[in-house]
Amino acid sequence: MVDYIKYTSEMANDWSKTWYDTKFERPWAFKRLLDSSTSSQMQSKLWLTTELQKLNLYHKKVAIIGGWFAHYITPLLIDNLKVDLVHNYDIDEDARLISCEFNRRYKKGGKYKVYGKNVFIDPIEEHYDMIINTACEHMFPMKKIKELNPALDAILVLQSTSETKYDDHINCVSSAEELSEQANLKEIYFSGSKVLHNGMTRFMVIGK
């Protein structure tokens, strides 16, 4: 079981600088940064890492869709699951810049990169072994990405919620089965749900 992030001195350096810079240079993004750093956020990313570790799937090159600040998920993928390359596709410029600061050590080493492309409009041009979307409640159903990329062979790792009280939760689901149907998964390696510390139910499916 993966139940913590490896908080190295390099990480402490990147993270403390990012918190400081965001507070003073991008104060409008500070509340969102706090929201992205809750215990529930950590729980959902540790859960994902734990299940991926159990499955022992091949995942050297990974894309994250809507990775947001990607400060929890990136070290878990690189340090725990030994992923070689993480690409975060996020349409929000603040998120991209802040995520690059959090992950500066990986970016410098060529392991982390961000893209502003909206992958629900344009095809993904690179090959990935795995595509992670832990923000499915914010987007169109994932089958749209399969339609835009007919040759896509990546393992999909998806999370969503049934919590409809937020305006930007435009695509909630009521079960893991519904989440898997939204992605038209033919092979399912994991399917489950978890009630997080914030009281919301999170669903996760892993499959193709």
Ligand X SMILES: C[S@@+](CC[C@H](N)C(=O)[O-])C[C@H]1O[C@@H](n2cnc3c(N)ncnc32)[C@H](O)[C@@H]1O
30 is a site residue for ligand X (CB under 6 A): no
The angle formed by the CA atoms of residues 102, 105 and 109, to the nearest 5 degrees, is 135
- From 33, 46, 63, 66, residue interacting with ligand X (rule: CB under 6 A): 66
User: Residue 70: how many CB atoms within 10 A of its CB?
Assistant: 27
Please report how close the Cβ of residue 192 comes to ligand X at its closest, in angstroms.
Answer: 17
Residue 36's nearest CA partner among 79, 8, 74, 85 is 74
In angstroms, rounded to a whole number, what is the distance separating the alpha carbons of residues 133 and 43?
16
Instruction: Candidates 8-16, 60-68, 78-86, 179-187: pick the segment binding ligand X (CB under 6 A).
Output: 60-68
Please report how close the Cβ of residue 190 comes to ligand X at its closest, in angstroms.
Answer: 17
- Residues near 169 by Cβ (< 8 Å), separated by ≥ 6? 137, 138, 161, 163
134 is a site residue for ligand X (CB under 6 A): yes
95 to 114: interface string for ligand X, x by CB under 6 A: x-------------------
In the complex, the residues that contact ligand X under the rule CB under 6 A are 41, 44, 65-66, 68, 89-92, 95, 118-120, 134-135, 138-139
